[in-house]
Chains A and B, each alone.
Chain A
Amino acid sequence: MVDQSNVSISAQSISVRRDRRTRNRPPYWMIAPAVFLLAVIVAAPFLVSIYTSFTSLNQYSIGNWLHAPFVGLRNYISAFTQGSAIGASALQSLWVSVAFSLLTTLCITPIGIVAALLVNTPFRGRSWVRALFLIPYVMPVFVNAITWRLLFMNGWGLVDKVLAWLHLASVNTFWLIGPNSFWAMVIADVWSSWPFIYLMVLAGLQGIPNDLYESAYMDGATQVRCFFSITLPSLRPILSLALLLSTLNHFNNFTLPFIMFGTPPSPQADVLPLNVYVTSFQTFNFGLGAAMSLITLVLMMIPAYFYIRMLRLGEATT
């Protein structure tokens, strides 16, 4: 996906290759370890998860799990109505998660594109700037989350102090609890994840032939015109992949809210993964947790479907 030209070259030889591939019987033993491992640690747990979601399994009944009461769809119903004993209902969490993942993706896209354009043409010290741009992204998420927890501390955190100094907000804005926690989460996440779009766009920019810009320049096109008529359309494939992956990753982001807010978080920041976690491992309601994660999974299949289609499996790339 990185190098579009590379893909088209290998596409020419693909028909030849396909014939060669079929000639031999594959050494199945080589792929067996991967298949076995994934069957044991992914497929089997997945089935257990489905079973669990129809029972009222908890920390007491797990000792005798085969006799855990079968409750039918009750977990699914309560997932939408009450959720965990502490914190938001799954339905509420769902909206928080959807809003969070879409909003952050929406924010980081222009930031990432601008950053990539900034360093695409050579200048002195460019390699340093490129390294700098990577730092928020390559820093482990738990470190970023602790950093932002510090920055958003009430009363003495840097954010509150600067806002109070500028007379924009009270020094007691309470970023980590209450309605502001959603925005604190969005800001922290935008800060640490925009380089993802930046990296993808940077990879995409390498594939745009330079003579397109040269001829546009000859015709007297402005930079803005060039951007909207050449750059953006050329970036479309990689950008749509980036947006999709970004939405998926943000939806599944557990670490950032978990460390920034602790458990249980304010309902406004109670994203779905965090809610499932609290339900499963702090109130030990395994049945409800399983039902909530299966609902999440079904929702994830919508973007995942488009992701798989975009990768065009079995065609040129692989």
Chain B
Amino acid sequence: MTHSMSLERRFWQRLRIVLLIVFGLAILLPITYVVLVSLTPDTEVGDGSIFPTHIAWDNYRLMWSTVHLAHDIGNSVLISGCTGVLATLVALLASYVLSRFRFRGRKPFMVSLITMQTIPQVMMLLPLFVILVIIQNALRVHLVGQYVTIIVTYLTFALPFACWLLLSYMANIPIELEEAAQMDGCTRWQVLTRIVLPLILPGMVVTFVFSFLLGWSDVLFASVLTTPSTQTVAVGLQSYIATGESGGSVFWGQLMAASLTSGIPVVVIFLFFQKFIIGGLANGAVKG
């Protein structure tokens, strides 16, 4: 009995090691290849050589001038940052009311919050674009391509998500503290800023990070609603591919270097917040 048990255990241990290696390879091989290509001279990528003859650090230098990478990354930081801050603050107030009070329209509002997260984003973009163009034509103002426009439209998916995420954090804050504060004569606003805010701060940070990353990864809205001067890095990288589609040669080395440059910071932020991710994920759809 014990003998067969240990045999079985050994089998599972071996299987675990084999599977870990398989998973590791499956994840690391594509990434390693990308890193290799990012260090390959552009002339060699199309030849199909896996290992470059010499390491082309030039790709990491040239990518800043071939496309406006620094400018685009700046735009991404600005747009995603504003989206994150706005979504978090508006959602803080909304989720506080939703979690602490029962009122008419509460449940329909919560149902619509979830429904909004299941709506295809392209379905929101079309009427938003039509409305923006109509307003533009009527008032002779420029809306498409403005930072404000893209930030506000990002809220269509960032805000419902932020509300939902903060609601789950609100639910875990004991209501007794707030009641005690009210007994002592605190107003609603004081209760929120002095009692709730310090406790919900970690939740707000996570909400901000997720909303920020939603904006950072968006391609759909940015590809329609930004102009070259306000475009985000997700759109900026497209111009590398666009040259290939119009008959030119794609600078694969630089493209991969630029992709890694715009992707690695996000990965680092995520890994930094790793332990919060599981909770955040289970509370709503993270990636649209």
Contacts and interface: CB of A to CB of B under 8 A. Distances in A.
B62 interface: no
Interface string A13-32: 00001101110101110110
Given A38-B116, A140-B262, 9 more contacts: A22-B102, A31-B93, A34-B91, A41-B124, A132-B24, A133-B27, A138-B267, A141-B219, A255-B218
Contact of A281 (B217, B224, B237, B238): B224
Contacts of A139: 263, 266-267
Interface stretch (A71-79, A84-92, A155-163, A178-186): A155-163
Interface in B130-153: 130-131, 133-134, 137, 152-153
Interface in B150-195: 152-153, 155-156, 159-160, 163, 167-168, 171, 175, 179, 188-189, 192
Contacts of A191: 26, 30
A114 B19 contact: yes
Contact of B266 (A123, A131, A136, A138): A138
Contact of A252 (B31, B98, B116, B121): B121
B69 interface: no
A96 interface: no
B47 A300 contact: no
Contacts of B218: 255
B90 A156 contact: no
Contacts of A220: 1
A69 to B, nearest CB: 15
A37 B90 CA distance: 9
B37 A293 contact: no
B252 A150 contact: yes
B171 A143 contact: no
Q: How large is the interface on A (under 10, 10 to 19, 20 to 34, 35 or more residues)?
A: 35 or more
A313 interface: yes
B23 A136 contact: no
A1 interface: yes
B231 to A, nearest CB: 13
23 contacts: A21-B101, A26-B97, A26-B100, A27-B189, A31-B98, A37-B159, A38-B159, A44-B131, A131-B271, A132-B27, A135-B27, A137-B287, A141-B217, A143-B260, A150-B37, A193-B287, A200-B282, A241-B282, A254-B122, A262-B245, A281-B129, A296-B120, A304-B118
Contacts of A249: 285, 287-288
Given A26-B103, A139-B266, A308-B111, A1 B131 contact: no
Q: How large is the interface on B (under 10, 10 to 19, 20 to 34, 35 or more residues)?
A: 35 or more
Nearest to A272: B120
Contacts of B99: 318
A26 B26 contact: no
B122 A138 contact: no
Contacts of A301: 115, 118
A304 B130 contact: no
B128 interface: yes
Contacts of A158: 30, 33, 50
Contacts of B281: 196, 199-200, 203
Nearest to A241: B282
Interface stretch (A57-65, A208-216, A228-236): A57-65
A298 to B, nearest CB: 11
A33 interface: yes
